[in-house]
Amino acid sequence: MMHINLVCVGSLKEAYLRDAAAEYSKRLSRFCRLSVRQIEESRPDREKAAILRACRGVRIALCVEGEHMSSEELAARIRAYEQRASCITFIIGSSEGLHDEVKAAADLKLSFSDMTFPHQLMRVMLLEQIYRAYTINNNIKYHK
């Protein structure tokens, strides 16, 4: 079973975000092993070493300058990565973003939008998209 690793700077402070993340984590448990590593928020140059130590397998950094893709394209990318690795690490930075060294170490830089989202909300959005990707890859109907 594939291991999905989320490395996130900061914690989920709001109960409604923790509840949403827990719901998608529960849904994902039928498709993959999910782990979440929270890095203490400081400055990107101080966070980079802890982020890079927590990464395993294929590294996907979420950043505004990253590649835009549809849910179907993300599903195909995850399916392709499953063929060559046992773990995919998604990296979410703080409100200050990710250090350039973290981005350079990524196999893929991914952008959800040209807009900026709070990093706490981004974690829930990412979990939803990973869940959606697995439903697409497993031909399971999921709302659009």
> What six digits make up the tokens of 101?
């060294």
pLDDT score at 84: 95
Q: Is the pLDDT of residue 112 over 80?
A: yes
Mean pLDDT to the nearest integer, 26-42: 97
Model confidence band, residue 116 (pLDDT cutoffs 50, 70, 90): confident
Residues 41-87 have pLDDT tens digits of: 999 999 999 999 999 999 999 999 999 999 999 999 999 999 999 99
User: Global pTM?
Assistant: 0.96
Residues 1-17 have pLDDT tens digits of: 999 999 999 999 999 99
Q: What percent of the chain has pLDDT over 70?
A: 99
SS3 of the chain: the string is CCEEEEEEECCCCCHHHHHHHHHHHHHHCCCCEEEEEEECCCCHHHHHHHHHHHCCCEEEEEEEEEECCCHHHHHHHHHHHHHHCCEEEEEECECCECCHHHHHHCCEEECCCCCCCCHHHHHHHHHHHHHHHHHHHCCCCCCC
Model confidence band, residue 143 (pLDDT cutoffs 50, 70, 90): low
Q: Is the pLDDT of residue 142 over 90?
A: no
Q: What domains are there in the chain, each with its CATH number?
A: 3-137 (3.40.1280.10)
Residues 89-103 have pLDDT tens digits of: 999 999 899 999 999
User: Is the torsion defined by CA of 40, 46, 51, 53 positive or negative?
Assistant: negative
